[in-house]
Structure 1
Amino acid sequence: MLFGIRPTFALRLVAAAATFAVAVGLGAAPASADEKVVRIGTEGAYPPFNEVDADGNLKGFDIDIAKALCEKMEVKCEFVAQDWDGIIPALQAKKYDAIVASMSITEERKKQVDFTDKYYNTPTQFIAAKGMDVGEATAADLAGKTLGAQSSTIQADMLEKVYTDSTVKLYGTVDELYADLSSGRVDAALVDKLVSDEWLKTEAGAGYEFVGPPMFEPKEILGEGVGIAVRKGDDELRLAFNAAIKAILEDGTYEKINAEYFPFSIY
């Protein structure tokens, strides 16, 4: 039985399973002969999807989804916090087996990793100071402005490839981006709408608002939704995750987790 997934989901995907150690490329043996472990890399700095609480524990939508998937796969999840800029290289170096960190599925990233099916999708949008005239926030509207985004994200790619007449500043974390927006060093920030909606509700974000329309296009930059990344060629683990994603969508687990964070479906 593939990763503990019931035959209804797993056997239709693959004819036979290799051993777990070969499938996920673990660098060390599991804690016991029967226990299977999947190490999950995540950022821990992207609330409400992944963050570190006051006790130093990882929490958020990504974390809860990963735990639910591991439960369906009948494996133990071990989480590893990793800075965003190095999150793909660390996967390739086998620091962990998969990335569950709100990573958008893009053609550029597909050159480095393989993705599961999506497990959510949200739009990209600009935020700026209330009352600031940015029109429809097109490249022409924002020409000459200083624009910011978190580095190594689809938003950063969008600024660099589309907003070529603006000054682009990139940041290691979204919190650093918010800080420069608040200080006036950035005129507008291109962000994940759901993530920044939370910030706009805080005292620090009270003077800012979304500007321009939500963006899902162009897909070659903004991607096809958010998926789980695994090492190239790790089809065993990728298909096991796909089966588990389908299972939690069908049995109501996904809907329950979604409702804990958002008043509407983000799938």
Structure 2
Amino acid sequence: MSPSPVPSVAVPGFWDPKRRPDRPDITRLPTQIRFVTTEDYPPFSFRGEDGRPAGFNVDIARAICSELAITCTLEIMPFDELVAALDDGKADAAIAGIAITPASREQVDFTDRYFRSPARFVSRRGDSLTSITPVSIASKTVGVVGGTAHEAFLRDFFAETAIRSFPDADAMREALRKGDVDLVFGDGVQLALWLNGTNSEGCCAFVGGPFTESLYFGEGMGIAVKRGNETLRQSLNYAFAQLWEEGVYTDLYLRWFPISVY
């Protein structure tokens, strides 16, 4: 029997196999978990063609509920209302791409990180670059969205490079497609979606990286719960560890990120 093919997409693992969370006492959990998410953050959470919630976050929430064998609901609400919904007892868990930061930790408690979007460079196909260092791109022009952490990172670590700021990601990516800049630097997920879509016209590809410096790009995403709700937080962590070990997380990741973000 021939071995299964190795997937061409690198799937990041965020769970230490040596640290196994305790199996939760289901009797201490609520009769259902009320998840909240947003509808404006594809591919993580958005409304599908049928109007129902869809995306990576939505599928993760459903998989968690299946793993815990518990009934769940999922409500869409504006991002700036999520924390209040947890505090007021209107929701139990928010899975909406909430970044784990010192500031957000003061408002909510988080599960283990389940996703982190790295920063990536993209070049035009045919470029001879094989790696990214301050020396290797010193003579290049790099496009970046102005006022972002990505721009700050470039200016701190790639000071010899010609950095060109753009007002938004669309303008930055179009400049690369047309050859007005040699490289662009930005969020890996959004760049992967562009590379895999029709707007890029197959012009470009990732090169070098990934870059995951938490000081600039954060610690990643976690599911938020009301501060002090340790029973639910640990139960979600247990479910995450099981989903990783069983390959469910990998399957969902490959479904939503067909081009490797890492």
Within 5 Å, give how 1:1-267 maps onto structure 2: 9-11=23-25, 17=28, 20=30, 35-47=31-43, 49-73=44-68, 74-82=70-78, 87=79, 89-94=80-85, 96-127=91-122, 136=132, 141=138, 147-148=144-145, 156-160=148-152, 163=155, 177=169, 179-184=170-175, 188-192=184-188, 194-206=189-201, 208-210=203-205, 212-262=207-257
**Structure whose residues are more often strand by fraction:** 1
Tell me the distance in 1 between the aligned counterparts of 2:227 and 2:22. 26
How far, CA to CA, are the matches of 1:142 and 1:91 in structure 2?
A: 45
Number of residue equivalences: 225
RMSD across aligned C-alpha pairs, in angstroms?
4.2
> Is the 8 Å Cα contact of residues 132 and 208 (structure 2) preserved in structure 1?
yes
Cα distance in 2, alignment partners of residues 189 and 216 from structure 1: 10
TM-score, normalised relative to structure 1 = 0.63
Distance 2:261 2:132 in 1: 24
Q: What is the one-letter code of the residue matched to 1:10? A: P
Greater CA drift, 121-130 or 54-63? 121-130
Structure 1 unaligned runs (5+)? 1-6, 21-34, 172-176
Q: Please, which runs of 5 or more residues in structure 2 have no aligned partner?
A: 1-20
Instruction: Give the SS at the match of 2:51.
Output: coil
- SS of match in other structure, 1:93: helix
Q: CA deviation at 1:227?
A: 2.0
CA contact (8 A) 2:112 2:222 kept: yes
Identity %: 24
